[in-house]
């Protein structure tokens, strides 16, 4: 089972991502800053994977990120890191669609919004 520190790190990444995406949408982030942020985020996720000794993500971790406003890019990456044999992977795909995430380039919307 994951340590609370790892779960807290995942939550922190999701929260930072939500804040970043809002700033990006508001035009408060320069393209170079966005590139640097995304590179640092990818590096931190890789570090967490290394600490855990696995690249597999649980559905619970996916839901934490979903509930905390993670972008489609992050959510899709988390779904892709789930064990392909995990029966909850299909639930993650459904959750992605419920917020308008059909690709990493999709713009996330609220789950109750009509699209």
Has residue 108 been placed in a domain? no
Question: Does residue 93 sit within a domain?
Answer: yes
Is position 110 within any domain?
A: no
Share of the chain above pLDDT 90, in %: 22
pLDDT of residue 1: 43
Domain extent, residue 66, equals: 4-98
Can you list the alpha helix ranges (DSSP code H) found in 3-71?
4-25, 31-52, 59-67
Residue 107: inside a domain = no
105: in domain: no
Q: Does a structural domain hold residue 55?
A: yes
Q: Is 96 exposed, middle or buried (0-12, 13-18, 19+ CB in 10 A)?
A: buried
The pTM for the full model equals 0.56
Domain count along the chain: 1
Q: Tell me whether residue 68 is in a domain.
A: yes
Look at residue 55 and tell me whether its pLDDT is greater than 80. Answer: no
């Amino acid at each position: 089972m994951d340590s609370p520190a790892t779960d807290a790190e995942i939550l922190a990444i999701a929260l930072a991502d939500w804040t970043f995406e809002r700033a990006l949408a508001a035009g408060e982030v320069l393209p170079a800053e966005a590139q640097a942020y995304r590179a640092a985020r990818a590096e931190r996720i890789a570090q967490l994977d290394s600490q855990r000794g696995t690249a597999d993500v649980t559905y619970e971790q996916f839901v934490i990120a979903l509930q905390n406003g993670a972008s489609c890019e992050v959510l899709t990456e988390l779904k892709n890191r789930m064990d392909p044999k995990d029966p909850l992977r299909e639930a993650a795909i459904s959750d992605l669609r419920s917020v308008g995430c059909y690709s990493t380039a999709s713009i996330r919307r609220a789950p109750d919004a009509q699209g």
